[in-house]
Amino acid sequence: MPEIIILGTSSAIPDAVHDNTHMAIVGEKRVILVDCGNNPLVRLNQAGIEVKSVTDMILTHFHPDHVSGTPSLLMNSWLLGRREEMRLYGLSHTLDRLEALMGFYGWENWSDFFPVRMNRLAEGERAPVLEDEELRILSSPVCHLVPTIGLRVEAVASGRVAAYSCDTEPCQAVVALARGADVLLHEATGAMQGHSSARQAGEVALAAGVKALVLIHYSHQDEQGKALVEQAQAAFDGPVSLGRDFMTIEL
């Protein structure tokens, strides 16, 4: 049964125990990273995921707290002997900049470097990302400071659905993307440009008719977890929980 393992829950400023928000979707044949935190090899090891098992990576947008670990992951995988292809997915805005960044590292000169296939995604709502006999993943543009996608993950066997808002202001694209999902992972950075408060996350969950809400991408600089849950519950009457590093969501 596929599962989502949350590898980090922090907004832009991590701490010693909370990494920046990213996650792994683990199936029988694929391990798909959604974004890449600051120390991906260590974080994967802590979650019991071998780095060589990572087959795909979806990068939601080109901000440091979501892509900064990608060069390390690629380099570490190569140094550990990887020769199998890795597939990367993202908007052209994201992948163009990642390729430019890797060019500064001279990755074209890394001896026997494994193939990396760049898959540039369409910018429409519920655009296909990848699909196999286990999973179907769709993306939609959301409302952030740079071009950004949210994700819908559908498990074929169970029919369960998880949606992820990524970094966004409240928007109809997330409501449509999450419609009827079993769980919505929604950011709760705060009510500001490009982001959402916990209450706004609850309002989106209600409008989308999801069964449960998990708050993610929130500040760990103070102890406000209970307050965030209460704020979301003021707008959404379903189960609300606070995302925790290494939390697992079964699909």
Residue 52, classified by CB atoms within 10 Å of its CB into exposed (0-12), middle (13-18) or buried (19+), is: middle
Structure token digits, residue 56: 């795909």
**Residues present in the chain in total:** 251
Q: In what order do the strands lie in the sheet with 161-164?
A: 127-131, 135-141, 149-155, 161-164, 183-187, 213-216, 240-242
- Number of C-beta neighbours around residue 3 at 10 A: 14
Place of tokens 């939609």: 140
pTM check: above 0.85: yes
Q: What is the pLDDT along the chain (251 residues), one digit of tens a residue?
A: 899 999 999 999 999 899 999 999 999 999 999 999 888 999 999 999 999 999 999 999 999 999 999 999 999 999 999 999 999 999 999 999 999 999 999 999 999 999 999 999 999 999 999 999 999 999 999 999 999 999 999 999 999 999 999 999 999 999 999 999 999 999 999 999 999 999 999 999 999 999 999 999 999 877 677 899 999 999 999 999 999 999 999 99
Q: What is the CA radius of gyration of the chain?
A: 17
* DSSP code string of the chain: --EEEEEE-B-SS--SS-PBSEEEEE-SS-EEEES--SSHHHHHHHTT--GGG--EEE-----HHHHTTHHHHHHHHHHTT--S-EEEEE-HHHHHHHHHHHHHTTGGGSTTPPPEEEEEPP-STTEEEEE-SSEEEEEEE--SSSS-EEEEEEETTT--EEEE--S--S-HHHHHHHTT-SEEEEE-S-SSTT---HHHHHHHHHHHT-S-EEEESB--SS--HHHHHHHHHTT--S-EEE--TT-EEE-
